């Protein structure tokens, strides 16, 4: 079977990026070959060093004018993984990777999604709305925030004693546990589709 080469886009801490690099470190069909960030201070870049994965920083212009596409092409990237990436993915990237970009969102989409909804803000909104459950959504990426085809969702309880911090910790654990496995199933099931 053909090998798949993944690039991770991360804007911040990169704990999901690390869970993914760890999971695929010795994988026979999937290799993480590049970590990309719009933020030179993203801790995700340090985590990439730990796994010997090369990294690059880009500007909005480089993302939109095709330069980032070129980098991805140079290392034969087959799939893109967003892990705490906070910018909208431009059409030039979406078109180059049809059905081959995945994202994780820390709520049960379509609830608590859309522009400006990320990280802590989501958990604050979930607590404020007195939801009794929340969770994670893994979905394909299109040109709109949080609207691509849903691939998997995993739920967890919101406890009466939760604040956004305790809830965020519970949800993040769920992300680390499930995201790598969902990526694995998604990549291997897409391997026979035309590129």
Catalytic residues: 105
Among 12, 8, 11, which Cα is nearest to 21's? Answer: 8
Give whichever of 67 and 124 is closer to ligand GAR, judged by the CB atom: 124
Minimum CB distance to ligand GAR, residue 2 (Å) = 28
Choose between 106 and 148: whose C-beta lies nearer to ligand GAR: 106
167 is written with which tokens?
């809830």
Between residues 106 and 180, which has the closer beta carbon with respect to ligand GAR?
106
Site for ligand GAR in 18-77 (CB under 6 A): none
User: Does residue 178 bind ligand GAR (CB under 6 A)?
Assistant: no
* Interface with ligand GAR in residues 106-165 (CB under 6 A): 106, 118-119
Least Å from the CB of residue 70 to ligand GAR = 25
**DSSP secondary structure letters along 82-125:** ESS--SPPPHHHHHHSTT-EEEEESS-TTTT-STT--HHHHHHH
CA angle at 27 for the pair 23 and 32, rounded to the nearest 5°: 70
**Comparison of 100 and 118: residue with beta carbon closer to ligand GAR:** 118
Residue choice 47, 100, 105, 139 for contact with ligand GAR (CB under 6 A): 105
Note the residues at the interface with ligand GAR (CB under 6 A): 10, 12-16, 83-84, 104-106, 118-119, 172, 175
């Amino acid at each position: 079977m053909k090998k798949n080469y993944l690039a991770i886009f991360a804007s911040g801490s990169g704990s999901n990026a690390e869970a993914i690099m760890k999971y695929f470190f010795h994988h026979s069909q999937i290799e993480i070959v590049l970590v990309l960030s719009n933020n030179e201070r993203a801790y995700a870049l340090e985590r990439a060093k730990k796994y010997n994965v090369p990294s690059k920083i880009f500007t909005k212009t480089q993302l939109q004018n095709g330069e980032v596409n070129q980098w991805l092409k140079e290392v034969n990237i087959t799939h893109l993984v967003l892990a705490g990436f906070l910018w909208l993915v431009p059409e030039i990237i979406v078109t180059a990777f049809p059905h081959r970009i995945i994202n994780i969102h820390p709520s049960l989409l379509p609830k608590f999604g859309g522009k400006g909804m990320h990280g802590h803000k989501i958990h604050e909104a979930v607590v404020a709305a007195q939801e009794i459950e929340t969770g994670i959504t893994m979905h394909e990426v299109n040109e709109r925030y949080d609207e691509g085809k849903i691939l998997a969702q995993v739920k967890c309880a919101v406890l009466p004693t939760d604040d956004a911090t305790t809830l965020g910790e519970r949800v993040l654990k769920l992300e680390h546990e499930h995201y790598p496995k969902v990526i694995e199933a998604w990549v291997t099931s897409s391997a026979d589709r035309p590129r």
